[in-house]
């Protein structure tokens, strides 16, 4: 894919925050090929941003979609079209996406963009759908979309759609490092050496420090640059990969400490510092919208 094009717009817009997986276990594989997971999603106060303008006649437009991806295949466009069809809303929308999050980084950018589209258009179009309706629609777009729609840090099971809110997570400052490559989730989950039988974990055990990312060993084996990023970041704090990678993260007690490490980041890697959030910035924006 080509480089992501940045678009600046006036006004506040709607946030599509990143997520990290504080841990990710693969506990089994179903007959349909999907994997049974356990994970904890936590949001970051950093991500993409979208703007929405009403259009007449059911017209849907998207500016700032992913290079190399047809507009009709973009998750943002698909979310708008699915909501339009479900609700029967006769009007349309022009959507502008300011893409900050890397593609294939394990930060949930595409799912978050889709969720923000559903939540914002439900408000803009005054559809009155509740969060469960939107989450059910979001699940048709991707397994991670519902957690962004609900907007609460959560313990997740199944394919990631069975959510238990977690409001007792700590909220450190995270340094997220992007080793400048994109990883296919399907490739990692299809690897024959992936651990698929990790013993299920209980929430108290996770809160006491248990848990790992079962996908990390596979990714590191195929992508040495991820291993290099983990090794570099681990010099400062324990580091872990999020999702199926390629981004890795470490928690710091103070923002200044995280930013001091970020300043030492070697090229061509990039990164950012963000606070962990148990309530999504999207929910804060929706509350302000009334």
Listed in sequence order, the DSSP H helices in the chain are 75-87, 109-124, 131-139, 145-150, 185-189, 203-207, 216-222, 224-233, 255-262, 281-289
171: Cα separation from own chain's centroid? 17
- The three-point CA angle 22-47-35 to 5° equals 40
Longest dimension (CA), the chain: 56
Pairing type for strands 35-55 and 270-277 reads antiparallel
- Provide the β-strand partners of residue 156: 39, 163
In this structure, how many other beta carbons lie within 10 angstroms of the beta carbon of residue 259? Answer: 14
CA 176 to CA 247: how far, in whole Å? Answer: 7
Query: Catalytic positions, please?
Result: 19, 144
CA 122 to CA 21: how far, in whole Å? Answer: 27
Nearest 10 degrees: CA dihedral of 110, 116, 121, 122?
120
Burial class of residue 175 (count of CB atoms within 10 Å of its CB; 0-12, 13-18, 19+): buried
CA 247 to CA 274: how far, in whole Å? Answer: 14
**Cα dist. 48→102, 180, 198 in Å?**
10, 18, 33
- Provide the β-strand partners of residue 29: 35
Pairing type for strands 162-165 and 154-158 reads antiparallel
CA 223 to CA 246: how far, in whole Å? Answer: 9
């Amino acid at each position: 894919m080509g480089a992501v094009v940045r678009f600046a717009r006036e006004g506040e817009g709607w946030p599509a925050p990143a997520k990290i997986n504080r841990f990710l276990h693969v506990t089994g594989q179903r007959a349909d090929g999907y994997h049974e997971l356990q994970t904890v999603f936590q949001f970051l106060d950093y991500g993409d941003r979208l703007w929405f303008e009403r259009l007449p006649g059911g017209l849907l437009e998207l500016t700032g979609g992913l290079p190399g991806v047809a507009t009709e295949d973009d998750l943002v466009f698909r979310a708008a079209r699915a909501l339009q069809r479900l609700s029967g809303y006769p009007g349309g929308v022009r959507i502008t996406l300011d893409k900050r999050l890397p593609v294939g980084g394990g930060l949930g950018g595409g799912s978050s963009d889709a969720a923000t589209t559903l939540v914002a258009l439900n408000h803009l179009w005054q559809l009155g759908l509740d969060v469960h309706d939107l989450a059910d629609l979001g699940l048709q777009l991707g397994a991670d979309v519902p957690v962004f729609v609900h907007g609460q840090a959560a313990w997740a099971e199944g394919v990631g759609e069975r959510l238990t809110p977690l409001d007792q997570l700590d909220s450190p400052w995270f340094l997220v490092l992007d080793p400048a490559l994109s990883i296919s989730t399907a490739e990692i989950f299809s690897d024959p050496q992936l651990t698929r039988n990790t013993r299920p974990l209980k929430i108290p055990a996770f809160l006491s420090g248990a848990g790992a990312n079962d996908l990390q060993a596979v990714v590191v084996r195929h992508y040495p640059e991820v291993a290099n990023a983990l090794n570099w970041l681990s010099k400062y704090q324990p580091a872990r990969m999020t999702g199926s990678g390629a981004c890795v993260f470490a928690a710091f007690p103070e923002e200044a400490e995280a930013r001091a490490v970020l300043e030492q980041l070697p090229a061509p890697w990039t990164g950012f510092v963000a606070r962990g959030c148990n309530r999504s910035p999207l929910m804060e924006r929706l509350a302000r919208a009334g």
